[in-house]
Structure 1
Amino acid sequence: MPKNPVRRSEHIGTFSNSLLSDVTNLHGYIAEAHNVVTPDGYTLTLHRIPGRVETKRRNKNRTIILHHGLLGSSVDWILLGPNHSLAYLLNDAGYDVWLANARGNKYSKTHVTKSVYSSEYWDFSWHEIGLYDLSSIIDYVKENTLVKSQIYFVAHSMGAAALTVLLSTSPQYNTILNLVILLAPLVFMQQAKGPFRIISELQSLDYNATLKILGENQFIPSEKFIKALTRKFCKGDIKLCENPLLLLSDGGKVISDSTRMKNILAHVPAGGSTKTIMHFGQLISSGRFEMFDGGSTMNIKKYGIASPPKYHLREIKLPVALFSSHDDWLSTVPDIIKFLSYIPNPVVHHIVQKTSKEFSHFDFVWGEEAPELVYKHIFDILKQY
């Protein structure tokens, strides 16, 4: 961290040029965009949904931050449309809703000094997202909401991993947040399956070669690699399997609703670093929730020891609710149970009940059954806190 970190923030008003705002306006909601600059210089866009167009603003004494998952963006939380998307449901229930965007996605792709075309820009994983992005976002939201407002945090997938980093390395945020809800968190990943396991095995054999296959800076895997994974793992529409995020998460599982499929393909993946992907690959092979392994020489220089340190999960003191599914390739039930054994104050572990359809990693956010199988339970938990 820089010696004198400065968080600069700027409210830039209703973000009419934003694709997210275009969508929310179509759905009947107002959207704002706020710029937050992290201590290490990344400019993040925070989207805020203060209310419906016809009601404008309402005074709200409950604030909630939603953070997207792997290679996602704030748009993920509104893809199900009005009356179904979690962001809208929360807003209708009286919450001041803030939607985060991690560094490197299409809404947060600038830096005060580094070019997005440079390797220096892309030298980050979910560790930096947790340590710098989330601390800056939470501080900004706290400063720009009611003084007595309670702040809740819902994070999915990679966002949950980043939040776990922040809470375990900066314990003061355990007192700022009232409750965190982690949907399919990517913390322990030893039981993960599918293409991600192949990536993990490849990087264990040859890190540099894997880096070239996946994209040396931004995660843009080679066409040849995607085709090879598609032949091995695709179980749905080939068009969906050509989307690297959908292939990694569930083998391009069929999306029956054509409008929802079109919306998803239009917005994901939203961008991210290859180092983020490879940090998760490291967790699969190590079975630990640990910092990035740069090799013994670099580790000694950075951490003072040859192996990457583990995160201190017992520092997470605030109430934590966990959600998982038996159909999830990446965040498996056994790995979530392992995570539960480390945190001092788990309040619930909700395993999505089996239905006629598989409920996979991204169904927690944009699955057609998410309102009934996940969001209803989120509201039950929030009512208790």
Structure 2
Amino acid sequence: APLKMKFRKVILASVLLLAMANIAVALTFDEERLRLKQFVTSEERIRSHGYPAESHTVETSDGYLLTLFRIPYSPKLNNQRAKRPAFLLQHGLFSNSDCWLSSGPENSLAYLLADAGFDVWLGNARGNIYSRANAKITLNSPKFWKFSWHEIGTIDIAAMIDYIRDLTGEQAVHYAGHSQGTTVYLALMSTRKEYNAKIKTAHLLAPCAFFEHGRHAVFQLGALVGTPGGVWNLLLEDMELMPKNAIVNRIADTLCAEQPDLGAQCKKVVLWYAGDGYRNTNLTSLQVLIETHPGGSSSNQGIHYLQLSKSHKFRQFDYGTKKNQEIYNQDTPPDYELNKITARTYSYSSANDALCGPRDVDTLVANMPYLVEDYRVPDPSWNHMDFIVANQMREVINDRVVGAAKAYERM
């Protein structure tokens, strides 16, 4: 174990030094710009926009303490005592609840849902900046980070849904997820099938399940992950990936400063992750998002996605033949049974998504016989991040989500 930790430190230090060297070449550092911004939580951000906000802690069956933020009602409506359907929003990889707030009350889905009469809940997965505690394990222990998005779906999302149902008295909730927020939904609904009855409508923004045709450069890292159960897997698994800290904050603040040239650099770096082009991107929203991003995650989440890109299947975590036999009683991990998802589910995808592109969405849709709608954004430039930071996301995506949920409720 000590040797493993030393190897990890060497790898992380090398990656960090390489990244900082490249950034130093690309940017002229200005100490005045390299300031640490005051951290603003989702609850504070909601209140700053004039909406009521609450913070709730949900303990999972394995001890993780998850933070749920809530917008119980809209100040624009006199409906504090009226019945308000519950709506849970779940973020993507490296993200957190702020992704649903960064574009402000006029465009962000959280506020639009509140204004439409919904009781809005913002989830935070284990390991991100709002959910960094466990009742049984310390944060610095590798055991804390021993999870993938499978556990986020089958344990965290399940716990959130049950907490909301118990507190509000609602028998079922509405759900929307972006990117990994769609993956965890699919994992939960196909594995713990009783949860389908606890969903009224579900909205998958940039749905991610299959990666056979992923054109993003990140998929080339599959070779680095190596053989499941092999030495590289053992060195890279069970640790924090992309933590939010002072160094990352300073670099991000410089990249996303208000100067036009650095603003362009910010777009290039963030949208390298999202897909080509950024003509739809609201840079102000992106700057707000950067303040609390990256949000932190386990390296196993990234490893699990890379496994899917290599196997061309949507299946559970691959531990290697020996451990797979112990856990699954078979040599390879089982596929998620997408055809068993009966909840009223809507898909929203785009052609310019380099991570979860149209051909892989085709595969997902073909495996979901109960899917209600397969909506493809007409704009050919719409990318993975546009679902949460685009100038036109209200008209293109959010109004459709709100409309479908309202139609279900007959509001």
Report the TM-score when normalising by structure 1.
0.84
Task: Identify if the C-alpha distance between structure 1 residues 247 and 123 changes in structure 2 by more than 3 Å, giving closer, same or farther.
Answer: farther
Within the alignment, does 1:124 sit opposite 2:153 as a pair?
A: no
Q: CA deviation at 1:252?
A: 8.4
- Matching residue's letter, 1:305: Q
Q: Judging by fraction of residues, say which structure has more helix.
A: 2
Q: CA deviation at 1:112?
A: 0.6
Within the alignment, does 1:288 sit opposite 2:313 as a pair?
A: yes
Q: Mapping of 1:56-67 within 5 angstroms?
A: 57-67=80-90
| Partner deviation per Cα, 1:295-344 (whole Å, 9 max, x = no partner) | 11111111111111111112111221101000101111111111111123
SS of 2:295's equivalent? coil
CA distance in 2, matches of 1:287, 1:180: 25
Within the alignment, does 1:98 sit opposite 2:121 as a pair?
A: yes
CA distance in 1, matches of 2:111, 2:163: 21
> Partner residue of 1:351?
376
Task: Identify if the C-alpha distance between structure 1 residues 203 and 237 changes in structure 2 by more than 3 Å, giving closer, same or farther.
Answer: farther
1:237–1:254 contact (8 Å) kept in structure 2: no
Q: Mapping of 1:218-297 within 5 angstroms?
A: 218-220=240-242, 237-240=264-267, 246-250=271-275, 253=278, 257-297=282-322
Q: Mapping of 1:304-383 within 5 angstroms?
A: 304-354=329-379, 358-383=381-406
Q: CA deviation at 1:241?
A: 5.0
Which of the pair has the greater relative contact order for Cα pairs under 8 Å at 6+ separation? 2
SS of 2:193's equivalent? coil
SS of 2:51's equivalent? coil
Within the alignment, does 1:87 sit opposite 2:139 as a pair?
A: no
CA distance in 1, matches of 2:126, 2:110: 21
- Matching residue's letter, 2:199: L
CA distance in 1, matches of 2:281, 2:273: 19
CA distance in 1, matches of 2:287, 2:320: 42
2:85–2:170 contact (8 Å) kept in structure 1: no
> Partner residue of 2:71?
49
> Partner residue of 1:10?
none
Q: CA deviation at 1:106?
A: 0.3
Q: Runs of 5+ in structure 2 lacking a partner?
A: 1-38, 248-262
CA distance in 1, matches of 2:239, 2:356: 25
CA distance in 2, matches of 1:351, 1:208: 41
> Partner residue of 2:57?
35
2:281–2:390 contact (8 Å) kept in structure 1: no
SS of 2:372's equivalent? strand
> Partner residue of 1:115?
138
1:194–1:251 contact (8 Å) kept in structure 2: no
| Partner deviation per Cα, 1:132-159 (whole Å, 9 max, x = no partner) | 10110000000111446x5211111111
SS of 1:144's equivalent? helix
> Partner residue of 1:144?
167
CA distance in 1, matches of 2:299, 2:177: 21
CA distance in 2, matches of 1:105, 1:211: 22
- Matching residue's letter, 2:293: V
SS of 2:68's equivalent? strand
1:61–1:146 contact (8 Å) kept in structure 2: no
Which protein has the larger Cα radius of gyration, Structure 1 or Structure 2? 2
| Partner deviation per Cα, 1:40-71 (whole Å, 9 max, x = no partner) | 11100011101245768342331111111111
CA distance in 2, matches of 1:239, 1:62: 38
Q: Percent identity?
A: 33
Q: Runs of 5+ in structure 1 lacking a partner?
A: 1-16, 224-235
